[in-house]
């Protein structure tokens, strides 16, 4: 079994803010990230898929197939959005990078069967880099 990992970039803005908390408490927890006007990141998403290479082509999966799946499932939804304001998943969920990664995983799993029906592959892992100093894995 081999694992293919590809990197994708997207830009998004958000405000770290829990509506159930006061402005003061949000500021204590999230610091400057609770700014009412929000802030943005240029994220890097790594997607890993595992499977046995196809014997005729020697590929775990065609790269274009993986790109189409990630673009359709994730990038078309999230790139250049304000997470809090434009994505229903974050109406009541604080868009921390941890939560963004959980939502991305759900989107990818939701699109799996459309893009890879009957293929013996599996989503092997995800990594989301928010900044050069902060990254998160599933």
Would you please indicate which residues are annotated as catalytic (active-site) residues?
33, 80, 130
Q: Is residue 100 packed enough to be buried (19+ CB in 10 Å), middle (13-18) or exposed (0-12)? A: buried
**What whole-number distance in Å separates Cα of residue 27 and Cα of residue 40?**
17
**What whole-number distance in Å separates Cα of residue 60 and Cα of residue 68?**
15
DSSP code for 79 = T
User: CA-based diameter of the chain, in Å?
Assistant: 61
Q: How many residues in total does the chain contain?
A: 138
């Amino acid at each position: 079994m081999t694992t293919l990992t590809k990197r994708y970039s997207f830009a998004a803005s958000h405000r770290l803010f829990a509506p159930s908390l006061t402005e003061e408490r949000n500021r204590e927890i999230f610091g400057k990230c609770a700014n009412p006007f929000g802030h943005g990141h240029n994220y890097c998403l790594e997607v890993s898929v595992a499977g046995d290479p196809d014997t005729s082509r020697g590929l775990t999966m065609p790269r274009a197939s993986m790109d189409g799946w990630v673009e359709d499932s994730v990038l078309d939804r999230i790139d250049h959005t304000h997470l809090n304001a434009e994505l229903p998943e974050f109406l009541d969920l604080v868009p921390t990078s941890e939560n963004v990664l959980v939502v991305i995983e759900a989107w990818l799993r939701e699109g799996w069967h459309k893009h890879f029906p009957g293929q013996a592959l599996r989503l092997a892992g995800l990594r989301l880099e928010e900044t050069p100093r902060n990254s998160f894995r599933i």
